[in-house]
Structures are given as C-alpha cells and as structure tokens.
Amino acid sequence: MPMFTVLLESLTGGPLTEPAAPLDDARLAALATRLDAAARRRLGRSLALRHVDAGSCNGCELEIHALSNAFYDLERFGLRFVASPRHADVLFVTGAVTRNMREALERTYNATPSPKWVVAVGDCAFDGGFFAGGYACAGGVDAAVPVDLHIRGCPPDPAALLEGLLALMESSASP
Amino acid sequence: MSVTAGLIARGARVEACRPWPRSIVDAVVWREAAGHLARGALILTGLWGEPGRIHLALINADYSQPAILTLDCPDGRFPSVGQRHAPAIRLERAVADIVGLVADDAPDTRPWLDHRRWGLAHPQNGSGGDAAGPAAPYRFLAAEGDSLHQIAVGPVHAGVIEPGHFRFTANGETIVRLEARLGYVHRGLESLAAGAAVERAAALAARASGDSTVAYSLAFARAVEAALGVEPPPRAHWLRGLMAEFERLANHLGDIGAVCNDAAFVLMLAHTGVLRERVLRACAVAFGHRLMMDRVVPGGAAVDLDPAGAAALRAVVGEVRRRFPVLVALYDETTSLQDRTVGTGRVAPALARAFGAGGFVGRASGRAFDTRRALPYRPYTMLEFETPVREAGDVDARLWIRIEEVRESLNLIEQLLADPPTGPCRADPAAGGGTGDAKGAEGVALVEGFRGDVLVWLRLGADGRVDRCHLRDPSWFQWPLLEVCVEGAIVADFPLCNKSFNCSYAGHDL
Ligand code: SF4
C-alpha cells in the first residue's frame, strides 16, 4: 500500500523542480537547452562520465551524487555516470591526487578511449587545495593527467558542476 | 575507583591535558591496560604516536571517565596492544608507518597507510621523515581450501565512491574471507596540521571527511577551546547543535536511500534524495554552505543565523516531518526489500562491544554508546533525546537505527529552534581564559558525528600554532567488522553490507 501511495503522489504531485528555487530552475532550464545543442553536435546527445576519487575528502562526491537527484536529474541532459573507464568520454576527477592513488588515476586515464576529456572537480583537484605541499599528495589533477576543465569550489555545488559540463561541451564542440 | 582512574593514578599526571586526564605510565601499567582492553573492562578509543612516545585513549566499559595513557619509548618500541586486543592492530600499523614506532610482538607488521609511494618513511618521526622503505608487494591474509578463488576490487570502484581495495576469497559465490586494504586517500593531514596556524589546522580538520565536516570541526574546536580554557557563548553552542543535527539528518537521509538502492529499490533513493537536497539547500540559506564546511570554528561559530535562515530551517523540518513517515512505511511494508536486508551482514553484539564500534554500526548490534549522552557537551546537556538501540546487527537494523535517528534529530532541531539564545556567536579571544602563552597546552574532545564518535587530540605550540594533532575517525573500529559480517555471505550482498556500514575512507586514511 505505501508503495502505491508513493507512486501515486509522484505521479500527481507535479515535477520536483518546484517554485522553491525559481532562480535555480531558470538557470537549469537555460543549461538544458544549451547543453543539448552542444552535446548533440559532438556526441549524439550522450556523454558518459566516469568518476575517479584521487584523494578527495568525499565532499566533492556528495555533490556529484546530488547531480542525480530529482532536482538536477543529470540524465535528462544525456549525461550519465558509467561503471568503467572503457565506457567513458569524460573523467570526473576529485581530490589532491595522493601519491597512493596516482598510479590508479593514470591507469584509469589510459583505459579511457579517445576522444576523452578530463574534468578536475573541486579546489583540491585544481592545485591540491589545503593538501598541497605535503609528502602524500602530488598536487592538482594535472600533476598526473592532462586536464581540460577545472570546476572550482570546495566543493562545487551541483549547479556549478552542471555549468562546468556545459562549458566543456561547448569548448570541445568548437574546432 | 574506576579502571581508568586507577591506571591514571599509577602514572605521572600531565596537567597540560584537558579535560581528560593524561598520565605517563611505565610498561607494566601499559601492559595492564592492554589486558583490561582484552577482557572488556576498557574500551579503546584511540592509539597514536609522537616521536619517542605513544598514547592510548581509553574509556571505562560503562562509558565513563575517559583517560589517556602515555608510554615513553626512547628506543622506538612499545609493547603491542594489538597482540592482546585486535581493534588496536591497524592503529599500531598506522603508528609504525607514520611515526616509526614499533609495536613489540605485534601480530601484524605489514604496512597500512604507507604504500611505499611517498618517497620517504615515517613522515612524523620528528626529523621530517626517514629514507623510504623497500617497496614490496602487499601480502593479503591467506585463505586455504579447495576451489577457492580471489576477486580483487578497487581502488577505483564502479560507482561514485571513495577509493579502497577489497580482496575477496570466495568459493563459488560464497565469501570465505574479505580483507580491505586502505590508505589510498592518505593526504598527510596530520603532518600538514603540525606547525600550522590554528585557523589553517581547523580548515584541514574540516576536510578530514567531507560528510562529517561539522563533526570534525566541532571536535577540533572543542579540543582547542579545552586547551585554551575558552568557553564559547550560549548562541555558539546553539548554532553548533543545529549544524551537527542537520549534518546527521542529511547523511542519514542519503544513506537510507542509498542502502535501499543497493538492494535494487531505486524508488527510495529518489525520494530520500529529494529530502536530502532540500535539507542541503536550507543549510545553504541558513549557514551559507550546503555542507556547512568551516562554519564551526574554535571559539564558536563563523556565521550567525538570521530570521530568513531560521525560517528555511523550520520549513525543511516541516517538509521532512510530512514526507518521511510515508517512506518509512514504504520500507516497513515492502517485503521484497526486507528479504535482502533482514539477516544480511550480521555483526554479533559481542564483536561490536569488543571493537567499541560507534554510531549505527554499534547501536544496531546492541551497543548504546552515544557521545552526546555518555560524555555530554553543550547544547545536548540541555536537550531531550533518545539513543535508539537494536540487537539484530543486520543491514535491516542499521537502517532502522538511521530511521529512528532521523526522528531524534528532527526532535533536537525543533527543541533548539524553539529556544534561541541571544548574544554573540563567538567567544572574544581577548576575554578567553588562556590567551597568554598557550604553548604546550593540550586539549581533547570526542564528538558524535553521524557515523559515530570522532576523536581529536591536539597540543598547541607557540604563536597560536598547532604543535601536533591527532584525528581518529569512527571507521577505524567499523571497517574490521564489515570484513567479518560478510563471511559466508554471497559476493552480491557485499555492496549492500558495505553501504549499510558506509565507513569513511578519507577520515580513516587522513
Ligand atoms: S575540494 Fe573541498 S570538498 Fe572537494 S575534496 Fe577538496 S576539500 Fe573536499
């Protein structure tokens, strides 16, 4: 019975991109249209993302997770997370690249077929953030693999992550 | 006299340490403490080293009178606690890696955090590290028998999760042994904090484990305040309580959905994901950051709550109150889902007790420890709440503990919102107790994060710097139980068990 109630409420309750955050909704709607055009040109409306935590505090992961909730609904943009780098177009890398993770990151990068893009997510992935300079971290993601786009923030919020993905789509689509 | 008090009395008290007593003891007392741990008269709550000495944080079996024992070990060796008491084994391996102190007769001498990739060894040995140890392949524990095969998983996993390696030995589908190898996200946090200004060290602590950023910041702040003798104003405690409970609420909501999702019940994740997002958005309005990172600081809170923020918090509490009971009923009445969770991944109460497992892992296996109650701190001293406990120890029980804790957090938040104190939200450092030369002052704090008890110990240096600090995540005493609870389970149940534990990698690896 609860299953029926929940399903019925979901069907009759209207979409969740609700008036509580009108600004966000407008921004997301604009993003959806723009991203759609760029993605279609380059990759036939679909882009496969593979996440690699290379030394994150897990804060960035929480916000990457949020991309999949009903408010951001990443998949409506044709963007989806895949389980293997061999299926990925984009590596979403977080963290200050620990020396203990560096090889795993490099191997994941090498396992990703070209063309591929690397997005460095968060301030740690940018330049090591608070963890730069120690014995245990290599620094930003570009210390290990070439980076196409940095999305700053500690952590970047889901809207910033979506915006970053859009920027990547547009720049990769222009010759 | 309690066991800890008796041990403390037999050593030389270090008056600089507050509020827990610390004594420098000899090897006889140290060994005795290990014996008390082994027979369950004491609970291990931390074991860490500095150059030339090793510290052991203990609580009595009735959760009273925490204390720290210190053993000087000028020759770099100390009697192994892990030899008597298994929960200490990985902590001793970490001490050997980080400080270079060797546990005599330790049952396991393999490196733990050190994967031989740092270019040096013993980074905290006092002289900035030794020459790197020889690289050697990591030997996983053996499993012997017919028709066994190994499955190696990680460090890069298939989902959006933290990195670690799991080595399964299986017979067909049945898990014979699971061993985790961690340390992949070791960032050298404690070394970076040593010698850093208190503000920078606080920011590092806030990034030990992002899902527990409030809990870590609070533990760090309370340790600094204890060392300095500073008491934050009432409104600071109030704000901290709100943030801590919102962090717990957001994480539990996420976990409840994620556990059901790993049993292929996606509907729950969709709905708890919405509630979690609403909570995070309200926190952003109220405190200026979705995860409330850097909002709890030594001396108080970095932000105050304005009427609009309070209204956002009230609204989201109302929303969760309205929506959550339907989801609980959904779990309670979906038998196909419970078919996966009931009886799966059982942790025996005796094991949870022996390991001092905190949070929902401990409470689902009959261990009622809750720092907010056992070693109370403000604002909890003035609030009413229950600590849910169950005995079954399975995935289902860990889910129910979270469900019940969501309700308790809502109750706590409502009590807090109903009675806001006025005044500043941060102690004026000039008016604080010990703003003179704080060099050598030590503070220690235990805080109840969503996952369990977070320990922070620190010693201040000159000029408002941290001389040394140690952070201990609750996961240290939970990871080993995950390995045990999947023995005899099928490999396909591992993700479900793992999610029901939701141990931290970053907080453990630091
Ligand atoms: S950028 Fe911030 S949130 Fe992301 S991993 Fe680094 S410290 Fe954590």
State pLDDT tens for residues B110-156. 999 999 999 999 999 988 888 888 888 899 998 888 889 999 998 99
The residue whose C-alpha atom lies closest to atom 6 belonging to ligand 1 is A124
Is A49 strand, coil or helix? Answer: strand
- Within 10 angstroms of residue B21's Cβ, the number of other Cβ atoms is 21
- Preferred mutation among A50, A86, A97, A100 to probe B, highest tally of B CBs within 10 A: A100
Q: Model confidence at B27, in pLDDT bands (50, 70, 90)?
A: very high
Q: Which residues of B touch A130 (CB under 8 A)?
A: 192, 200, 203-204, 207
Are B188 and A154 a contacting pair at CB < 8 A?
no
By most ligand atoms within 8 Å of CB, the mutation choice from A53, A62, A124 for ligand 1 is: A124
Q: How far is B208 from chain A (nearest CA, A)?
A: 6
- Nearest chain A CA: its distance from B429 CA (Å): 25
Q: Which residue has the higher pLDDT, A37 or B29?
A: B29
Beta-bridge partners for B459 = B442, B468
Residue B502 falls in which region: left (phi positive, over 0), alpha (psi -120 to 50) or beta: left
**How crowded is residue B234: how many other Cβ atoms within 10 Å of its Cβ?**
17
- Structure confidence at residue B463 (pLDDT): 85
**Is the C-beta atom of A59 inside 6 A of ligand 1?**
yes
pLDDT tops 90 at residue B451 = yes
B78-115 exposure pattern, b = at least 16 Cβ within 10 A, e = fewer? bbbbbbbbbbbbbbbbbbbbbbbbbbeebeeeebbbbb
Q: What is the pLDDT of residue B326?
A: 93
One-letter amino acid at B494 equals F
Q: Do B67 and B89 touch, CB atoms closer than 8 A?
A: no
Q: Which atom of ligand 1 is nearest to the CA of A155?
A: 3
- Nearest alpha-carbon partner for B444 in B39, B5, B56, B33: B56
Whether the CB of A30 is below 8 Å from some CB of chain B: the reply is no
Torsion of CA B161, B206, B450, B43, to 10 degrees: 110
CA dihedral for B255, B260, B265, B268, sign (positive or negative) = negative
Contacts of B62 (CB under 8 A, 6+ apart): none
Residue nearest to atom 5 of ligand 1 (CA): A56
Q: Which of residues 134-173 of A touch B (CB under 8 A)?
A: 134-137, 154-155, 157
Using CA coordinates, name the residue in chain B closest to A58: B210
Report, as an integer, the average pLDDT of B465-476: 97
Can you tell me whether residue A1 is helix, strand or coil?
A: coil
DSSP string computed for B146-177? TT-EEEEE-SS-SSS----EEEEEEETTEEEE
The mean pLDDT value for B272-281 works out to 97
Domains of chain B and any CATH numbers = 3-104 (3.30.460.80), 199-509 (1.10.645.10)
Q: What is the mean pLDDT of residues B412-417?
A: 98
Closest CA to B173 of B483, B494, B394: B494
Q: Among A6, A23, A57, A67, which would you mutate to test the B interface (most chain B Cβ atoms within 10 Å of its Cβ)?
A: A57
Three-class secondary structure of residue B92 per DSSP: helix
Closest CA to ligand 1's atom 2: A154
A60 lines ligand 1 (CB under 6 A): yes
* Residue B17 banded pLDDT, cuts 50, 70, 90: very high
Which of A51, A60, A126, A152 has the most ligand 1 atoms within 8 A of CB, as the residue to mutate?
A60
Structure tokens at B433: 């107790």
How many Å is the maximal CA-CA distance in chain A?
57
**Position B289 pLDDT exceeds 50:** yes
Residue B149: is it exposed, middle or buried by C-beta count within 10 angstroms (0-12/13-18/19+)?
A: exposed
CA distance B510 to B507: 5
pLDDT in tens, B69-110: 999 999 999 999 999 999 999 999 999 999 999 999 999 999
Q: Pick the closest to residue B286 from B393, B378, B377, B420 (CA basis).
A: B420
Q: pLDDT below 70 — which residues of chain A?
A: 1, 11, 14-45, 169-175
C-alpha A123 to ligand 1 mean position (Å): 6
Question: Distance from first CA to last CA of chain B, Å, rounded?
Answer: 36
Under the banding of pLDDT at 50, 70 and 90, the label for residue B356 is: very high
Per the CB < 8 A criterion, the answer to whether B231 and B427 are in contact is yes
The CA B184 to ligand 1 mean position distance, Å, reads 16
What span, in angstroms and rounded, lies between the C-alpha atoms of B113 and B184? Answer: 8
CA distance B369 to B366: 9
Cβ pair B118:A136 closer than 8 A: yes
The structure's pTM equals: 0.94
Q: Is the CB of A129 under 6 A from ligand 1?
A: yes
Ligand 1: which atom is nearest the Cα of residue A130? 7
- Contact status, residue A89 vs residue A118, Cβ threshold 8 Å: no
Instruction: Please name the residues between 70 and 129 in chain A that touch chain B, using a CB distance below 8 Å.
Output: 70-71, 81, 83-85, 95-96, 98-104, 108, 129
pLDDT number for residue A19: 30
The pLDDT value given to residue B253? 97
Is residue B480 reached through a cis peptide bond, with omega within 30 degrees of 0 on the bond before it? no
Residue B132, classed as helix, strand or coil, is: coil
Give the mean pLDDT of B42-70: 97
Of B221, B362, B506, B200, which Cα lies nearest the Cα of A62? B506
The question of ipTM being above 0.90 is answered as yes
**What values do phi and psi take at B290, rounded to 5?**
-60, -40
* β partners of residue B23: B13, B69
Percent pLDDT > 70 in chain B is 98
Minimum distance, in Å, between the CA of residue B210 and any CA atom of chain A: 4
Query: A175 to chain B, minimum CA–CA distance in Å?
Result: 31
The residues with which B55 forms a beta bridge, in sequence order, are B48, B70
Task: Give every CB contact of residue B129 below 8 A, 6+ residues apart in sequence.
Answer: A135, B118, B120, B121, B122, B123
Give chain A's end-to-end CA distance (angstroms, integer).
Answer: 55
Per-residue tokens: B288? 């200026």
**A62–B156 C-beta distance less than 8 A:** no
B273:A68 CB<8 A: yes
Residue B180's H or E segment, with its range, is strand B174-181
Average pLDDT of span B299-321: 97
Tokens of B448: 């109840």
Backbone angles phi and psi of A151, in degrees to 5: -115, 110
Q: If you measure from the C-alpha of residue A131 to the centroid of ligand 1, how many angstroms do you get, rounded to a whole number?
A: 10
Residue of B153, B160, B335 best to disrupt the A interface, most CBs of A under 10 A = B160
Sheet holding A79-81, edge to edge: A79-81, A47-53, A90-94, A117-121, A149-151
Q: Per-residue pLDDT tens for B359-369?
A: 999 999 999 99
Closest residue by Cα to residue A103 from B116, B400, B313? B116
